[in-house]
């Protein structure tokens, strides 16, 4: 039994809680903000009315091709306007996008398809030198549930025409039904999908926008891949649309694309992970042509922000730092622009909704006093009460009374703010992307020369954690980073999961109970450290 079920009715009096589907929200915005620019990418810019027309036309086209209300649809598109159109087109139908990242490959796709049985796959023709069509066709061949593959590229043909021509008649969509399935970082094999409803997701965006003090003049830059919860909804695209601001989509996460977009579009707010801040700062030192003076707020989150980097941002960036602790499962905690700078520098603020319930507990689930670290648990209006079709996982990831176990160490500061202290559960946070060691270990063991593998996250100045794989080879064969990368790419693993460091080991260091001692492995990895700063993949 999937224990606790959240009662949505208890939240109906909350300010910002609206029983409206995302498709209908866009209808409303199109009327309210009509000719204002809604979103721009490196190729075009469109108004709120145009966005709604495109979403209606595309939605109608998808329906004619067989996508129905309740269907799951794989969406694997980079930061470009078609992503936004597809998101709302599916919302209008009541079909549910599964938010794949452009970096995902066959291995990740197969796990998700087997779980969610999508009826269609919407994919970019090409992005960053990778052609997706062949991969999509292979998935369709392997999984007959995929009836249609829609390719966003030069050959869009009928889809493109439908965008501007078709009118749509859409089914009624329950705002408490699932609007999107987000991917949970850190799976151990069986992927975890996070079902967010239309109402809770919009509430999430609104509460975030309120904390960020967004208004119609706000220009939000989506620098991270928009399939991530952070740029999509915290406040991200949805929060900016709701207030009538403008969204700018950066084509890649490169510091040049980010800084150029800020300069040219006079961006007022953006969201970065700490690793991206570091590379942007380096870029700013070398190149004086960028102008980031338009920025009012820099949201930084997704991974531990070191105190020293927080201080540096506060000192060097011409805007307010907003520390963001967030999860795709729900809970968001931000500092406020009105907080004292000493607070902003040292904590991750307070939950964004007055209805958020947050507890910090010890190993017996007893709450710990202020100033003591424990595990962060949360329940509330926009935090899920279970993963999609995952009874087993739900039993361990949630308490009996419905609190989500984040697996993060946190404490309350004397002033009532949250301060994060790293992970309790084993998970690598590499430049904001979450990776479970067990997943990589399983992939490595598929290699014929690898007998056993142990993967650890090693503290890294730029990435937060870098991935180090320790390998026990079959006949003492030597395998280097390149060979391991090549193998993992061949079996279709996303590039951000590739180990940054590979060490051959002959004998495992063991704990007193005979398990591989990963703490010792981390130390060994640090001692053997070379220069792994060849960029964020």
Q: What residues make contact with ligand OOB under the rule CB under 6 A? A: 185, 229-230, 234, 301-305, 324-328, 332, 348, 406, 408, 420, 423, 429, 434
For ligand OOB, the closer of residues 93 and 234 by Cβ is: 234
77 near 350, Cβ under 8 Å? no
Q: Phi and psi (nearest 5°) for 372?
A: -110, 135
Contact 146, 161 (CB under 8 A): no
Choose between 173 and 212: whose C-beta lies nearer to ligand OOB.
212
- Least distance (Å) between residue 231 CB and ligand OOB: 9
Taking CA atoms, 396 is separated from 195, 200, 402, 424, in Å, by 17, 23, 11, 14
Q: Identify the DSSP state of 526.
A: H
Q: Which is nearer to ligand OOB, 75 or 352 (CB)?
A: 352
Please say which residue, 36 or 210, places its beta carbon nearer to ligand OOB: 210
What's the closest the beta carbon of residue 49 comes to ligand OOB, in angstroms?
30
Please enumerate in sequence order all residues whose Cβ is within 8 A of that of 121, keeping only pairs 6 or more positions apart, or say none. 73, 74, 76, 136, 139, 140, 146, 148, 149, 150
- Give whichever of 119 and 240 is closer to ligand OOB, judged by the CB atom: 240
In the complex, what is the shortest distance from the CB of residue 377 to ligand OOB, in angstroms, rounded to a whole number? Answer: 12
Nearest approach in angstroms of CB 158 to ligand OOB is: 36
Question: CB under 8 Å to 183, separation ≥6 — which residues?
Answer: 98, 99, 100, 101, 112, 191, 192, 193, 194, 227, 328
The CB-of-324 to ligand OOB minimum distance in angstroms stands at 5
- Using DSSP's 3-state secondary structure scheme, residue 113 falls into helix
C-alpha distances (whole Å) from 522 to each of 457, 459, 479, 509 are: 7, 8, 19, 11
Minimum separation from the CB atom of position 466 to ligand OOB (A) = 16
List Cα–Cα distances, 433 to 181, 274, 463, 464, in angstroms: 17, 11, 10, 10
Compute the least distance from the CB of residue 299 to ligand OOB, in Å: 8
Nearer to ligand OOB, 46 or 247 (CB): 247
Which CB sits closer to ligand OOB, 201 or 230? 230
User: Minimal CB distance to ligand OOB: which residue?
Assistant: 326
Decide whether 162 or 384 has the Cβ nearer to ligand OOB: 384
Which helix (DSSP H) or strand (DSSP E) does residue 179 occupy? strand 178-183
Residues 6+ apart with CB under 8 A from 286: none
Give the C-alpha separation, 136 to 175, whole Å: 31
Q: Considering the complex, what minimum distance in angstroms separates the CB of residue 457 from ligand OOB?
A: 11
């Amino acid at each position: 039994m999937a224990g606790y079920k959240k009662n949505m009715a208890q939240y109906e009096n909350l300010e910002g809680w609206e029983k409206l589907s995302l498709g209908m929200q866009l209808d409303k915005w199109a009327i309210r903000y009509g000719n204002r620019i809604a979103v721009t990418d490196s190729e075009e810019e469109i108004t709120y009315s145009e966005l709604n027309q495109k979403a209606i036309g595309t939605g109608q086209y998808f329906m004619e091709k067989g996508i129905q209300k309740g269907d799951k649809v794989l969406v694997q598109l980079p930061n470009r306007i078609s992503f936004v159109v597809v998101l709302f087109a599916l919302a209008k139908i009541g079909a549910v996008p599964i938010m794949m990242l452009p970096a995902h490959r066959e291995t990740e796709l197969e796990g998700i398809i087997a779980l969610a049985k999508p009826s269609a796959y919407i994919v970019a023709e090409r992005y960053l030198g990778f052609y997706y069509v062949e991969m999509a066709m292979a998935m369709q061949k392997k999984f007959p549930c995929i009836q249609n593959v829609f390719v966003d590229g030069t050959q869009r043909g009928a889809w493109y025409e439908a965008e501007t021509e078709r009118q749509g008649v859409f089914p009624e969509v329950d705002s408490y039904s699932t609007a999107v399935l987000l991917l949970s970082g850190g799976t151990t094999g069986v992927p975890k999908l996070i079902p967010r409803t239309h109402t809770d997701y919009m509430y999430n965006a609104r509460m975030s926008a309120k904390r960020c003090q967004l208004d119609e003049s706000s220009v939000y830059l989506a620098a991270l891949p928009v399939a991530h919860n952070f740029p999509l909804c915290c406040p991200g695209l949805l929060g900016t649309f709701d207030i009538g601001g403008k969204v700018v989509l950066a084509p890649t996460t490169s510091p040049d694309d980010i800084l150029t977009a800020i300069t040219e579009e006079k961006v007022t707010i953006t969201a970065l992970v700490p690793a991206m801040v570091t590379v942007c700062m380096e870029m700013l030192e070398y190149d004086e042509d960028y102008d980031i003076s338009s920025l009012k707020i820099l949201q930084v989150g997704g991974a531990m922000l070191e105190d020293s980097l927080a201080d540096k941002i506060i000192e060097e960036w011409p805007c307010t730092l907003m520390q963001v602790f967030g999860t795709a499962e729900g809970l968001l905690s931000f500092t406020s622009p009105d907080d004292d700078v000493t607070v902003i520098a040292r904590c991750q603020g307070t939950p964004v909704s007055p209805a958020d319930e947050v507890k910090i507990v010890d190993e017996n689930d007893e709450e710990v006093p202020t100033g003591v670290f424990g595990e962060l648990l949360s329940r509330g209006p926009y935090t899920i009460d279970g993963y999609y079709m995952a009874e087993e996982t739900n039993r361990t990831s949630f308490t009996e009374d419905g609190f989500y176990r984040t697996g993060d160490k946190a404490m309350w500061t004397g002033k009532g703010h949250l301060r994060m202290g790293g992970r309790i559960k084993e998970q690598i946070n590499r430049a904001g992307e979450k990776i479970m060691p067990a997943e990589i270990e399983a992939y490595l063991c598929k290699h014929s020369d690898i007998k056993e593998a142990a993967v650890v996250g090693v503290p890294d100045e730029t990435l937060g954690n870098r991935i180090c794989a320790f390998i026990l080879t079959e006949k003492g064969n030597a395998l280097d980073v390149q060979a391991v990368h090549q193998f993992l790419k061949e079996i279709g693993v996303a590039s951000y999961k590739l180990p940054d460091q590979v060490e051959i080991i002959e004998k495992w260091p063991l704990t007193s109970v005979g398990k591989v001692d990963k703490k010792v492995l981390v130390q060994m990895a640090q001692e053997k450290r070379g220069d792994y700063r060849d960029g964020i993949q």
